[in-house]
Structure 1
Amino acid sequence: MSSVISASMSSVIFASKNSNLSLAVSCAQSGSGGNENGVGSTKTSKGPRIVELPLDKIRRPLLRTRNNDQEKVKDLMASISEVGLLEPIDVLEVEGVYYGFSGCHRYEAHQKLGLPTIRCKVRKATKDTLR
């Protein structure tokens, strides 16, 4: 049995009566709650934003030129299954299209686990930047 021992607009702390464990949960309010593509955002400033993107919405232009270390992919699969993705992949958004150039091992681990989305750090860019 657990109970709330402290709460505010941005955090909640739970404590268990049966053990010495406690859990603190913090959250930030999101601005729009998503964009026209149905992608939820957790950051609304002008800099990079963290979003969950569907894997099939991310173009991987370097996919055919790189061979991932399968042992690293396997280790990431175990870690993601146990604790989730710790570091989002970097993605460029150019005119509403998402391009992923980094996070190849994390991306493949999500694919092999059958996960539909991946957490991304998205930066807006121009076509010139993409070239």
Structure 2
Amino acid sequence: MAASNFLLQLPLRSFTVINVASASSSNGSPPVIGGSSGGVGPMIVELPLEKIRRPLMRTRSNDQNKVKELMDSIRQIGLQVPIDVIEVDGTYYGFSGCHRYEAHQKLGLPTIRCKIRKGTKETLRHHLR
């Protein structure tokens, strides 16, 4: 049987990397490397936890074993996958990454790495349904 070679082509996405937290804050994450300064596409940002609104926190509960495992992992190697955040009119809303967010809270870390996408009020209403 002959082996076949396949080339998977994925579209390149542009990321902007910034740190909006104070320079002395650290959440144990590895340094952010790469990105573009063009402002196109989502931005990877170290955002203070208190700047992120979590409108669904009261209606959902997290698996505490998963939170503990994430806490151990974040202590050892830092946060590897940023949480997704929507920015609407300068306010940040988080609807995913609940376990990672809680792990950061319990560790007492002031910031969390976020992938921020700009959204509209209609986008926000859609997520609140």
TM-score (norm. length: structure 2): 0.70
Partner of residue 18, structure 1 = none
Q: Which runs of 5+ in 1 are unaligned?
A: 1-29
Q: CA deviation at 1:103?
A: 0.1
Bigger RCO (CA 8 Å, 6+ sep) = 2
Residue aligning to 1:22: none
Aligned partner of 1:100 in structure 2 is: 94
Partner of 1:69: 63
Relative to its length, the structure with more strand (as a share) is: 1
Q: Name the larger-Rg structure.
A: 1
**One of 103, 121, 125 as aligned partner of 2:119:** 125
Secondary structure at the counterpart of residue 47 of structure 1: coil
Alignment correspondent of 2:44:
50
Tell me the C-alpha RMSD between the 2 structures: 2.1
Deviation track 1:70-94 (CA, whole Å, cap 9, x = no partner) reads 0000000000000000000000000
For the residues of structure 2 that align with 1:57 and 1:129, how far apart are their CA atoms? 19
> 1:46 Cα shift?
1.6
Q: Structure 1: how far apart are the matches of 2:45 and 2:97? A: 15
User: Given that residues 94 and 125 in structure 1 are in contact (C-alpha distance below 8 angstroms), is that contact kept between their aligned partners in structure 2?
Assistant: yes
Contact 1:58 1:99 in 2 (8 A): yes
Instruction: Determine whether 1:81 maps to 2:81.
Output: no
Aligned residues: 98
> Given that residues 21 and 111 in structure 2 are in contact (C-alpha distance below 8 angstroms), is that contact kept between their aligned partners in structure 1?
no
The residue type equivalent to 1:70 in the other structure is Q
Unaligned residue ranges in structure 2 (runs of 5+): 1-15, 23-31
Letter in 2 for 1:48: P
Q: Compared with structure 1, are the counterparts of its residues 57 and 78 closer, same or farther at alpha carbon in structure 2 (3 Å cutoff)?
A: same
* Greater than 2 Å deviation, 4+ residue runs: 38-45
1-side partners of 2:61 and 2:96: how far apart? Answer: 13
Q: Give TM-score scaled by structure 1 length.
A: 0.69
